[in-house]
Every structure is written in C-alpha cells, then in structure tokens.
Structure 1
C-alpha cells in the first residue's frame, strides 16, 4: 500500500510546476494585449486600445483567403485522418497477426521523424506524381500523414478501455462486423473519436513546415502566410492572427475536456 504524502511536503513540486507553466504560458498571453494596440508597432503594454488590427485582418484578402484555405484543409484532414486512423486502430486492436507491432510502429512513425524530412519527402513525391502541388487535395493528403498517428494513438487508448464482448454480442445477434462497430462500439468511444477529430483539425490548422513546401499563392494556409509575413513585414496584425489561432487551438479542447468530465460524473 502506497504511503500518503501530505500536500505540505509536495509544496516544492507545486511551485516548480507553477513556474514551468508560468514560463510557457505567459509569453504566449502577452500576444493577446499586443493585438489590441492602437499603434503600428508591437508595444507591450499597449499605450491605448483598439480593434483596428482585427478589422485589418478581416479586410485583407491574403488573410481571409488563407483562413478559408486552412479551414477547408483542416476539415478535410480531420475527416480523412479520423476515418483512416480509426480503421487502422481498430484493425490493430482486433488483429492477432505477428507483425502487428511493426505495422503499428510504421503507422505512427511520422511522430518520430522531423517535419522537415516529411515535408521534403512529400514535395518530391508530389513533384514526381504531378498535379498535387499547390492544391487543396495535396495539402489534405500531406497533413493527414502527420495527423493520423495522433488519431491512431488516441483510438488505441480508447479501444483498450472498451469491452469488446459487447460488440461480439451484437454480432451473435445477427449484426455484421461493420454494423456492430458503428452501432455498439463507436458510440461508446465518442469522446475518443471527438478528441481524435479535434487533434487532426488542430494539427492541420497549425502545420507550417509541410505547408511551406507544398503550397503557395492562393492555396497558402494561414500558418504559411503568417510565417511569410513575419519574415518580410512585422505589424500588429500578426498579433491579431496569433490571438485568433490561440483561441482556435485552446478553446475547443477546453470545451471538450469540460464535456468529458461532466459525462464522466453522470456515469459515476
């Protein structure tokens, strides 16, 4: 039996964790007030407050166009990565083949490979095939390569906590494997599925290295345009863009976490 450690003895750990969180979060949050500055320079704290840079964002075609591209690519990646990732995780979970470990390692290997190597590899493949560079389809396929491993890992964890005998009962009552999976297994893993979908979308929305290699012009994503603008010209519009991306990448996971906790309390 593990001995109980009083909170007072763990105070140093709480302080250390708090300092680490402070170090990681505060520099990011500084961008938020900077985005509301009324001046043309990046000043903190802002001398006065204004929403002019958010208005500038929505009035410039390069920003709104790239935002629309990112949303389309994000949703496309979310659908493709989630469907293929769930299918792969399920197949690996129920399979008994000897090479299951090797197949699983191969599917999640993009997590261990630097993004620049993946981007260069995809670029040369697209150049060889033709027709995929600077296209929405090409971006979706490329982003799926890096998003699918997260789906596989998330769903694999979900399948490990699920009792597969429930699906077997449904099949014994006449349902085929696909119907049993869709009507019995998948609904009980809804939060794993939702997490997988959200991760796939956010990974695609934030991806910049692959986007730099395989897209340009009217097919540029928001992250790519942000990177290019940061290199060529710095103005508070970048802070407004960063704040919007911060909201997109932080609020949905928080809401999903709250919903999952409420569902867990109801089932407890």
Structure 2
C-alpha cells in the first residue's frame, strides 16, 4: 500500500526541524572570533585546539568517558537480568514491573537527581567518581530493559527447549541459542545507555566534586560563567560521535538482516 505524500513531507519536515539547528554548531565551532557569531567573521580551529589543550575541558572529557564506560556495563547487566525476570511474569505483573523500572524515562531528572543526591550524601558517595557512576547508571537502565524485553517477547522458547532436549546444559543453551537472538537488543540498549550516561547533566551537576566534572557540566558552567565558544566545538564533537555510533550500529543491523535474507533464499 502506497503511503500518502504528506506523510513523507511531514517526516522530512520534523527531521529538518530537529537537525538544522544542530548544523549551525559546525560553522560556529570553526569561528575565528572570540565570541559566538554566525556567520563566523573568520575561520579557525582554535576552539577545537582549546578543547584538547585546556586542562578543564580535557579532564571533563576523560571523566565523562570513564563514567559512561563503567555505567554502561552495569546498566546492561541490570537491564538484561530485569528483562529476563519480567518476561517470565504474568501480563499484569510484567506491565507493572516494566512501568516501574522505566520510570526514569518519564520522571523529571531533577527529582531523580535530588533523591540520589540526598541518599549519596548520607553514604559519603557525593562528589566521588563511584557516586557519579552509580547515579548515572539508573537513568541508563530503562534503555537496556526496553530493548532486551522487546527481543525476548518475540523469542520462541521452543528453541531453548529443543537445545535442552538434545543434551545442552542451561548455560550452553543460553550461550548458543538465547544470547545470539537477544544480542541486537543488548547492543542497542548499550549504545543508548552509553549516550544517556555520557550526556547526563542534572545528576552529574549535583554529584560533581573536585576532579569529577563531566563534559556536560563543564559545558553548562562555561555557558553560565563565560559563554566560552569552546562549547560549540565540544557540542559538534558530541553530535558527530553519537551520530557515527548510531549510524554504524544501524548499518551493521541492516547488513546482518541482508545476510540472513540471502542465506534464507
């Protein structure tokens, strides 16, 4: 069935509305001026150089990568285990459990941040790298949970039953049958969890400490205190990196589906 042309027009209009403002970051990040200007008065890589050379920016990038690198595996393990538990519940309990574990997606981040800050302050974790990792793991879990749960709900358990009946141990059946089938969901959840953790501002703003300032917090401070044009360079790098990762994951899935279709025929 052919879709009406206005649907394509609407889709491209929304895409343009979301994308075009972001594209203005690129020329602004290449400005040779000392303030935010568009169009740039001249062209220079000075703000990219400052992003690498300036200690506060370089350390912020390192801290963000460290936090995301630790928070992502934790979110993957917790989200995947939760998905396996939920898929075995009855429909009503599964709906309630999924809604409860997905709450960080709909609850304002400031409420989560205040709750985490109050708890971690009593535990002595506020201002520490461990506190940042734990605090930013919670908002990342729902992305893994939803992605893996979607794969499990479409999974035919008869494959696992067949493997067990042929003499495979439960671990072997999981490793050779279940895991490959849910792997795309795990990868998708991990990608979104990494991005969510790396890009988190509100929780990181409350849990920051000396030497534990993340890149989003550094960008926020630069806007509030000095309007440093280095922000445009940092934003451009974030957009390019995230877009590249998402594109590569999507391209890999498309190639995998094409290979499966070719093998089936």
TM-score relative to the length of structure 2: 0.93
- CA drift of 1:38 comes to 1.2
Taking structure 1 as reference, are residues 267 and 113 closer, same or farther at Cα in structure 2, changes over 3 Å only?
Answer: same
1:260 matches 2:262: no
Match of 1:243 in 2: 236
Residues of 2 paired with 1:41 and 1:98: CA distance? 56
Q: 1:97 to 1:145 in 2, by over 3 A?
A: same
Query: Pairwise CA RMSD of aligned residues?
Result: 1.7
Aligned to 1:34: 28
Secondary structure at 1:189 match in 2: helix
C-alpha change, 1:156 and 1:46, in structure 2 (3 Å) is same
**137-146 vs 166-175, which deviates more?**
166-175
Q: Deviations over 1:28-59 (max 9, x none)?
A: 11001110111112122223221111111100
Distance in 1, matches of 2:78 and 2:164, equals 23
Match of 2:216 among 204, 223, 228: 223
CA distance in 2, matches of 1:121, 1:161: 35
Give yes or no for the alignment of 1:202 onto 2:199. no
- Aligned pair partner of 2:183 in 185, 190, 193: 190
Query: For residue 65 of structure 2, what is the aligned residue in structure 1?
Result: 71
Secondary structure in 1 matching 2:211: helix
Q: Mark the runs of 5 or more structure 1 residues left unpaired by the alignment.
A: none
Matched residues in 2 for 1:128 and 1:222: separation?
26
| Residues 141-220 of structure 1 aligned to structure 2 (within 5 Å) | 141-220=134-213
Q: 1:127-182: per-residue Cα shift (whole Å, max 9, x none)? A: 1222x111121111111111101111010111122222222222333444344223
Unmatched tracts of structure 2, length 5 or more: none
**Cα deviation, residue 122, structure 1:** 0.3
Give how far 1:96 is off. Answer: 4.5
Counterparts of 2:90 and 2:192 in 1: how far apart (Å)?
28
2:84 to 71, 74, 90: 90
Partner of 1:20: 14
Superposed displacement of residue 109, structure 1:
1.5
Distance in 1 (CA, whole Å) between partners of 2:44 and 2:91 is 61
Q: Tell me, in whole angstroms, the C-alpha distance in 1 between the residues paired with 2:164 and 2:257.
A: 28
Of the structure 1 ranges 92-101 and 215-224, higher mean CA displacement relative to structure 2 is found in 92-101
Per-residue deviation, 1:216: 2.8
* 1:57-93 per-position Cα deviation (integer Å, ceiling 9, x unaligned): 1001111111111001101111000011001101211
Farther off after superposition, 14-23 or 257-266: 14-23
Task: Report the equivalent of 1:114.
Answer: 108
Q: TM-score, normalised by structure 1?
A: 0.92
CA apart distance, 1:97: 8.7
Change (3 A) 1:109 1:178: farther
Does the 8 Å CA contact 2:151/2:181 hold for their aligned counterparts?
no
